Chain A
């Protein structure tokens, strides 16, 4: 559906994107995950045609973006990071204006507006000025404005910034509904949990480079990130550690009262580990499991936390 081939983009001396490539399949929710300034918005701007790459090519639905901008624009809907609406116009007036730019016949447009208002749950507030809406409601209209022309691809640039969890969940539900109806979605975020919850495929981007891409499991494998079993223990001495090294064949780290085991499968390995720790003469005061997450994958791949 989308092929990004070796694109680069610089702003003066700053390389925003360096030889970035990825493919997105039809019907996927593709996450572009990275910290602020990683190159996510630049990627979206290139895909949405308002920015030209310095080099490389982008194909959308088989069309070379560089030579088919108008056709590609009709295939794409963009939910920008900002709430890009006219505050003093009503939701209906905003949607009518944005929809009219896509040459939708008036009667069809009116029906589409009502449909998307129903979808985002704001039909009853359609005649209220946007300035009277809450942040979450504005985000939903911001999204509705991008889907009026029924795009095949929806580019969403951090669409949940600054909203409450309830509104965020509502937006997730809408995204999943759109995806179930066949819309391919590209979702940029720096929230790990959003990418984990929504995306089939994730590309981790940092400093303009795509570091890794794949499903969450594939990313775990790529990064070698494992689940962690944490045990709070009595004070560990050399004798205890020597016995643990002899009996346990997993990587583990420790401090004076804690053992951290890297597990491939915690459920299968937990009973054996407890047994070996006890045999080594260590008292267990508490157990905590930590599944491998995007956070740990990101940490492993970049050497830094996502919000650094």
Chain B
């Protein structure tokens, strides 16, 4: 098996163009996809205004005041919308999110309770939401601090100067207000919490589309790489070397698993290079959970290699290999989330996706980089991938045996 592997690796490395394509093509595609999905942060580009909805269920003077402040902020395009309609519009991706002032907002502000306000957002617009959040917090924090200060000053004046005329006490409070405004105190949002909920998915702490780009593209490219196994096997068949291998004292399964070992090695190397490249070029923190990352790289490579030897075993002609290869790669990539992120797909497609290796691979990488799940939570996905690879290998052994018999 090792000899087959060494020979195949030597053959692979001899073809410089193929080696270059194996690594260069996915790097180019990852870069392109990252740009396309907005996964790369650029300093020079002037952003378009962020389209935001506000749903005012409180309909008070305070909420209107806050909304007018939001509306005046450059770079934010604020639109008022009814709550239900706003949620639908955000879900459809027309707006990055909706800031909801629930009934009782003003009362809570006056009484110093937690504010009934929530930012419902589109997970796919994570970057814009990340920019909006501190702006909202700042404005709301100032309001809350001002309200608290007013309350304290009024209480103080009432307690110590009960006979002070109202005009004077109002002037004092206004003066305190303007000083508070001028100080632009950084601690205005202290204790202030803005509840944030994704309308479509989980929490995040890194760039979703960068993960989508690396995981989606890398697995699709792995499929392209291992599909060349089928072509390689056909080359061996056509030039007679497969027959010659069978003349020698090695078993047919050894040939097949030697090929799989080659595919596995190339896949592991390719995925590793992809992640290292994404780390160096785009700052993806690959050190977040290294054991889980290693497990995912190994299991994804194993499953993808299983597809490789399946294609090599099932194809009896070059046309079959091309046909099966294209079919498997495009179908798996399309339904599994390599081409289009799963969360923008309809629910039925998300259910179908589980049959593809891409789905389990991409979700596993999401678990590591997006959901920050511990290694123990990654294991089920790893097991599914290993199971897929094992089942495909077993089917391939049977198919290859039949394929080999036809050589005689």
Contact = CB atoms under 8 A, between A and B. Distances in A.
Contacts of A49: 247
Which 3 pairs between the two chains have the least Cβ-Cβ distance? A82-B240, A51-B408, A84-B240
Interface stretch (B9-17, B54-62, B74-82, B172-180): B9-17
Contacts of B243: 50, 80, 82, 84
Nearest to A50: B246
A145 B249 contact: no
A48 B240 CA distance: 14
Given A74-B249, A82-B240, 4 more contacts: A50-B246, A50-B247, A83-B240, A102-B248
A101 B249 contact: yes
Contact of A45 (B15, B240, B408): B408
A46 B407 CA distance: 12
A87 interface: yes
B11 A86 contact: yes
A84 B3 contact: no
A101 B245 contact: yes
Q: How large is the interface on A (under 10, 10 to 19, 20 to 34, 35 or more residues)?
A: 20 to 34
Interface residues of B, number: 21
A89 interface: yes
A117 B278 CA distance: 49
A128 interface: no
B14 A80 contact: no
A85 B245 CA distance: 11
Contact of A101 (B239, B240, B250, B405): B250
Interface in A17-68: 42, 45-46, 48-51
Contacts, number: 63
Contact of B14 (A73, A76, A85, A89): A89
B248 A73 contact: yes
B245 to A, nearest CB: 7
A144 interface: no
Given A97-B3, A97-B7, A100-B3, A80 B248 contact: no
Contacts of A76: 247
A14 to B, nearest CB: 13
A144 to B, nearest CB: 13
Nearest to B252: A50
A73 to B, nearest CB: 4
26 contacts: A50-B243, A50-B404, A70-B249, A73-B247, A74-B249, A76-B247, A78-B247, A80-B247, A81-B240, A82-B240, A82-B243, A83-B240, A85-B239, A85-B241, A86-B7, A87-B239, A88-B11, A89-B14, A97-B7, A98-B248, A101-B245, A101-B248, A101-B249, A101-B250, A102-B249, A145-B244
B407 A88 contact: no
A42 B15 CA distance: 35
A86 B13 CA distance: 13
Interface in B2-58: 3, 7, 10-11, 14-15
